[in-house]
Amino acid sequence: MSIEEYQDIIQPRRTELSNYAWTARTLQPTVSFKILPRPFPESHKQNVFKSVKVMELIKEISQKENVNQPEIKQRLLLILDEIGYTKNIQIIRWLAYILTKIFLKITSGIFVNYAGIQKVKSRMGDCPVIFVPSHRSYADFIIFSYILFFYDIEIPAIAAGMDFHGMAGVGEMLRNTGAFFMRRTYNNDTLYWASFKEYVNSLVSKGDLPIEFFIEGTRSRSNKSIAPKYGLINMVLKAYFLKQVPDIMLVPVSINYDRILEETLFAFELLGIPKPKESTSGFFKSLKIVKERYGCIYFHFGEPIYVREFLQDKLTQSQHSFGSIQLHEISEAEKRLIPLLAYEIIRKQQQSTVISYFNLIALILNNNLTRGQELTSNQELIREIRTLRETLRSWGATIFEKHIDDEIEESLLVHQNLIRRDKNMIGLFRKTISVGNLNPEKLKAHSLSEVIISYSVPFVMLQVYANPVLHYLVDAALLVIILRSCGRMDKDVLYSHFCILRSLFFYEFILLENLYKMHFEEALLQLSNEKLVTCKQGQYDIYENNYLEEVLISSIQPFILTYYIVAEILQKLPSLVDEKTILANVQKVLEEAIREKNIFIHPYCMNLDSQGNCLNSLTKMGLLLKSKKDNKTIYKINRASVLKLKTDLETYIPSFHVIKSFDIFLHIKSKI
């Protein structure tokens, strides 16, 4: 996709005489679903208050707790005031003006695929519209609303976490621009839970605003897709299953940043250092970002998914034909369809990922550092960017670019806090990091030394920027690793190995099992076209050792190594062990191995995101049994199965020879 297909919505603001005149313009916003008379924000609270289901629950609570119904109704009003959004157009205009000034100062542009958002806008009005963006930064929903304001689309009702609710001034400002708030947990408060579900149902079935929520549930600290959460999409789809609306249009949106505002915080969190609590003072401290540059931001509106079309051959006869519809819940059969839809949204977000030049630079530097090359020349960087750019384009990636020299210059300027340049050579910028006194009880894993944290943070940040490219590389990388480690094999055996690794990395590189075969065939074709894999007499093998093979193996190496170490550690721990103990032991082993500096071990292996993904995968595969006790996550280890997994992973370690780091395996084994 070329730059011409994206519109920089900030550019017009750079040339106009008055930004205020633009924010004060007459608005005729396009609504999601045409309803007359138009509902007000208070209408949704009233709908919940009159709900048959909620009224029945109030009677039950009254009898159970021996409390008068008026008192419970008063609790309900307080809950609805906590949840509900409002709309204040003056605050929206004021924010648009302030944000314009900030974006003009810190960004090189906010780019939106014009055809994508116009297609969505042209189809609005006939059914509820649900925007489902990827979640990479706290800035996501603010910029998203700004984009809709630019295109004169109604600002959505936005599902926001209670983290913001408690921030004095900020919470109310967000509420006035469409945010409705949800608790992370409801502690068996059945009245709250029922009220929230009814509130969302009212937004969908009786509202005319779009709705926006993040299906991943939280920001992805790794800058990769994470497994979807089903809570909100379950509530949203209820209106369709109960035939309260004719259809629902889900709009997947991919958000990508040249530089993420929280990049350093994310690196700390991945290493187990807890994030600071959101506060108003913290919010104002964060405004120091106006002194720095963050490059471009990319929003890609994907092809809408219509629920009726997606589910038409999967739904059986409706089970909601009799009795009061307000008392119905979606059936178990309908619930089983929700993961298919949720993962399809993630897949479309991945397909819409926009790769920037710095993503390619991060991938290249990661590869060079993995094979022991500290510095990369400008000429080498340009050559390798061109090689990867052409390969990735042919593999379906959208790479956003202008002139290559200008793009590299801009990338290095934006990331001068991470990348150093000495004459014609570039490498990682190293500096001492002080994290102060940390309470070991609040750490998520091992108490890493400041020396190791200072060393590791730049590597972790670099990997975070390489991660968005991995969606396009992972399938080919797995095939190369299998063939390079195991040698020549026929297609069925190769596919069997591929399925083992794909299943193991289920939470790392999101993909449903029913798509394994398609991805396998596509990756095999891609590698054949690149002359990296050859087939003779029905046997597949590596054709030649080249640069692309190096990049593919080094891109996946930290993940294979992390999972291998987790399996090794699980063999040494008691059969019943809590999650923090597992993570702390993995980090401790890696810290010792990294500190010796006998051999390069990528510090990203210490990230808790991948270690947690590994434990989730092993639980899904039945190798671990997960339970809760005293607010701790406890795992029961199936040692025989974990031992087999460890042995399987050892099969793929020989591929590390290609990037001259096979000795990592032996070095790590000596530490465990």
609-642 pLDDT, tens digit each: 999 999 999 999 999 999 998 889 999 999 999 9
Give the whole-angstrom CA distance, residue 388 versus residue 383: 9
Show Cβ contacts of residue 208 under 8 Å, excluding neighbours closer than 6 positions. Answer: 31, 32, 33, 34, 35, 38, 39, 154
At residue 266, does pLDDT exceed 80?
A: yes
Buried b (16+ CB within 10 A) or exposed e, 297-325: bbbbbbebbebeeebeeeeeeeebeeeee
Residue 497 parent element (H or E):
helix 491-504
Tokens of 623: 């190798």
3-state secondary structure of 309: helix
The one-letter amino acid at 60: E
Task: Grade residue 168 by pLDDT with cuts at 50, 70 and 90.
Answer: low
H-helix segments, 31-68:
41-49, 52-65
Is residue 285 scored above 60 in pLDDT?
no
Read off the pLDDT band of 405 (50, 70, 90).
Answer: confident
CB 181 within 8 A of CB 165: yes
Q: What average pLDDT does this structure show over 280-309?
A: 80
User: Tens of pLDDT along 489-498?
Assistant: 999 999 999 9
Q: What angle do CA 616, 618, 623 make, to 5 degrees?
A: 140
Q: Is the pLDDT assigned to residue 431 strictly greater than 60? A: yes
Judge whether residue 666 has pLDDT over 70: no
Q: How far is 452 from 594, CA to CA, in rounded Å?
A: 8
The helix (H) or strand (E) run that includes residue 625 is: strand 624-629
Quote the CA–CA distance of 654 and 32 in Å, as a whole number.
Answer: 55
CB atoms within 10 A of CB 345: 23
Q: Which residue has the tokens 């550019």?
A: 11
d(CA 15, CA 104): 11
Least confident interval from 121-125, 168-172, 333-337, 594-598: 168-172
Mean pLDDT of the chain, nearest integer: 90
Read off the pLDDT of residues 14-58 as tens digits, 9 standing for 90 and up.
999 999 999 999 999 999 998 888 999 999 999 999 999 999 999
Give 668's pLDDT tier (boundaries 50, 70, 90).
Answer: low
In order, the DSSP letters of 565-606 are HHHHHHHHS-SEEEHHHHHHHHHHHHHHHHHH-SS---GGGG
- Is pLDDT of 367 > 50? yes
Q: Residue 259 contacts by C-beta under 8 Å, 6 or more apart in sequence?
A: 293, 294, 295, 358, 414, 415
User: In this structure, what DSSP letter does residue 273 have?
Assistant: P
Whole-structure pTM value: 0.93
| Type of residue at 623 | L
Coil, strand or helix: which one is 489? strand
Quote the pLDDT of residue 36: 84
Burial category of 418 from C-beta neighbours within 10 Å (exposed 0-12, middle 13-18, buried 19 and up): buried
Lowest mean pLDDT among 162-166, 178-182, 546-550, 634-638: 162-166
The packing angle between helices 450-486 and 491-504, to 10°, is: 160
Residue 636, strand partner residues: 576, 625
Q: Which of 618, 622, 637, 625 is nearest to 572 (CA)?
A: 637
Is pLDDT larger for residue 297 or for residue 325?
297
Q: Characterize 88-118 residue by residue with b for buried, 16 or more Cβ atoms within 10 angstroms of its Cβ, and e for exposed.
A: beebbbbbbeebbeebeebbbbbbbbeebbe
DSSP 8-state class, residue 128: -
134-143 mean pLDDT? 94
Residue 280 has pLDDT above 50, yes or no: no
Residue 197 pLDDT greater than 90, yes or no: yes
Task: Judge whether 479 and 502 are in contact, CB under 8 Å.
Answer: no
User: Residues 236, 241, 247, CA angle at the centre, nearest 5°?
Assistant: 75
Q: Locate the DSSP E strands across 62-220.
A: 109-113, 129-133, 157-161, 179-182, 211-212
For the segment 514-555, what is each residue's pLDDT rounded down to a tens digit? 999 999 999 999 999 999 999 999 999 998 768 999 999 999
* 8 Å CB contact between 203 and 211: yes
- Residue ranges, comma separated, of all CATH 3.40.1130 domains in the chain are 39-255+290-352
Structure tokens, 24: 């004060």
Cβ–Cβ under 8 Å, residues 382 and 338: no
Spell out the CATH class of 39-255+290-352: alpha beta
- CB contact at 8 A, 573 and 634: no
CB of 579 closer than 8 Å to CB of 631: no
Q: How does residue 427 score in pLDDT terms, banded at 50, 70 and 90?
A: very high
Say if residue 652's pLDDT is above 80. Answer: yes
Radius of gyration of the chain (CA): 26
Q: What is the mean pLDDT of residues 317-329?
A: 62
Q: Rounded to the nearest 10 degrees, what angle do helices 579-596 and 608-620 cross at?
A: 130
pLDDT at 107 over 70: yes
Cβ atoms of 145 and 155 closer than 8 Å: yes
What is the per-residue pLDDT across 56-67, written as a single tens digit (0 to 9) for each? 999 999 999 899
Arithmetic mean of pLDDT, 463-469: 98
Residue 46's closest CA among 84, 9, 92, 98?
84
Mean predicted confidence (pLDDT) in 445-466: 94
Is pLDDT at 438 greater than 80 in this prediction?
no
pLDDT at 262: 93
Provide the pLDDT for residue 315. 75
d(CA 161, CA 634): 27
Closest by Cα among 561, 544, 569, 586 to 656: 561
Element (H, E) at 201: helix 190-206
